[in-house]
Structure 1
């Protein structure tokens, strides 16, 4: 990255980074123009990928010495990293709320990006006027660390808000669905946690690199650390894009089908509560609705001709289970009964689980151990002895 170097610097590591960036740019275009029921979410995550890619592209321009051959490449504002936090935050909101739209109030979250853009234009104009390379001006070494610090604080703040949205969504899912496949946002939660950790490491490193080394790479440890972090940032971003492409069009209740405001169910008498409990248990025992792998709270409430909020209230407050745990406890009981029934000996353990209402081996194993304290295979061995 030394401005005096005039050769094109391409090595296996930065080639691997550049190939990742190409994949990210392709994925950005796919997400941007993707059709589906989450167009806003797709656009928000595509913009996130684009911004990270542009930032890393700028670093690759410097690392490969392309700026020595094409100085005008440094006249382009590459950095918009203060937008990353708000974009991921609004992406989480768009995924969990089909009625979410970006309002004028939402736009104010992107004011720092405008400031960041203007500061880059000032620096570019200053470098052109003094015939200096963009990253060698004194202004760059003072403004850029401040921008990074602001971006780091912004990313950590908005990712924290995003995790709160996801956690609230997960609670809602457990109260409304009996299977979490293609509904849960645990995949996004994990990626956000990893992304937050990466930026906690990335920003202090870059600030130290700018203030104390100023692109002078005399130490191989600094070069390796810089490459390693760029590799992680490139391919973690690619991973986020791929997961969004695969799981981003989740199926939720439409806005007009969502929960109505909770009524004051605390005024219900013991007899009314017990009557509701009896109806729920009778329906599950007689109709075996838990065998429906996609059973939802709304479907159960329709069958009972009752308010979904009432069912949820009774389950949580008087049966001490959310809807997910309640239905799956019946499924586990069904599995145990079938394991002890000779007529089901021809089925595998997974086959019995699917016959009992589960639609995921991972979910079945986790729920079974949670209810019985044993793995399904261990339980099966014990029951055959």
Structure 2
């Protein structure tokens, strides 16, 4: 009995936290507001799904079971809303992004199906259920829900990959929320994989895998969504990238005098002003500082230097770090402290940049320097 009471406590705590997060996220100003409006809806849906799992595990009656079928409409809304959340969080565009209405057709069909079931009396439902009238429809609903979530998961992975690739031409720092979103997608992918295993084992082999089933998968997803909500409270607003597919003619080579001027100006602000020390340096800021366009700088970096903005700035930061090591500053400060001092905003970003530039780890490089000296 105690284990069941503990489960009640966990479920009630999860539901209350979901409601709290959905409200709190809306109170916060100027922090990914368009995306967080969608996140609040996702949190409320997670609360409903968790409520449905609580009913199923603890308070199931025939009538409540009929209501849980309506709650399960969430499985057709989770994917589309996550895609909207990702698009609004990662990308900017002139109008607030919305998916076309046809993306919600499966959810509407599920509501109609659930409404029909709710219209039935408990006796009618029990009779039809016992005769197997709902066996095939339930399999179809779960199968379509599974396919829907696989489709939107793949779509969201594509959005993250596109953003990760394009941000290197726009910002010089690592954004922690992007890494967390990747972790979120990996976790959802694992949950979907468990769901696939459960669906196939039950419907094709008539074998139930212990602890891996539809209810535990969606209960876990709901709780995991709350973690996303907490994380979004403390993360700063992401640098969003334009999503509009503007048809731009291939940029012609800059005139030789402009190339020389751009090379000179870049060298000055990097070597004399050390603009790379600014940890949140962006391409837009640099273009405004040099009184030129972002396209001109990108063209120069990509075409002339065969680099991108992210690697170009971090290369200067690594060189500054090496100068400090040569000056033996690492004897008085930690490697992390020096890396932050030269413009990096995280240990992982610094280590990756150092490995790319020096083909070695910072600690090994310093050890070799000490041996040579």
TM range (shorter): 0.7 to 0.9
Tell me the equivalent position of 1:195: 188
| Matched pairs, number | 366
SS of the residue aligned with 2:173? coil
SS of the residue aligned with 1:132? helix
Asked if 1:160 corresponds to 2:148, the answer is: no
Tell me the equivalent position of 2:124: 130
* Aligned partners of 1:176 and 1:296 also within 8 Å: yes
Tell me the equivalent position of 1:186: 179
Tell me the equivalent position of 2:108: 114
Tell me the equivalent position of 2:171: 177
Tell me the equivalent position of 2:312: 326
1:198-347 equivalence runs, <5 A: 198-206=191-199, 208-209=201-202, 222-226=209-213, 229=217, 232-247=220-235, 250-252=237-239, 262=248, 264-269=250-255, 272-342=258-328, 345-347=331-333
**TM-score normalized by the length of structure 1:** 0.81
Asked if 1:101 corresponds to 2:116, the answer is: no
* RMSD (CA atoms): 3.4
Gaps of 5+ in 1: 1-6, 214-218
* Aligned partners of 1:58 and 1:78 also within 8 Å: yes
Gaps of 5+ in 2: none
Q: CA deviation at 1:271?
A: 5.6
CA distance in 1, matches of 2:232, 2:133: 38
CA distance in 2, matches of 1:72, 1:342: 70
Distance 1:40 1:367, change over 3 A: same
**TM-score normalized by the length of structure 2:** 0.84
Stretch of structure 1 that moved more, 7-16 or 323-332: 7-16
Deviations 1:222-271 (A, max 9, x none): 44334764664343333333333333x5243697xx99875643243456
Asked if 1:146 corresponds to 2:133, the answer is: no
Asked if 1:41 corresponds to 2:28, the answer is: no
Deviations 1:202-224 (A, max 9, x none): 155157547876xxxxx9x7443
Partner of residue 354 from structure 1, selected from 326, 329, 340: 340
* Aligned partners of 1:67 and 1:73 also within 8 Å: yes
CA distance in 1, matches of 2:127, 2:263: 74
CA distance in 1, matches of 2:82, 2:28: 18
CA distance in 2, matches of 1:185, 1:110: 27
Q: CA deviation at 1:275?
A: 4.4
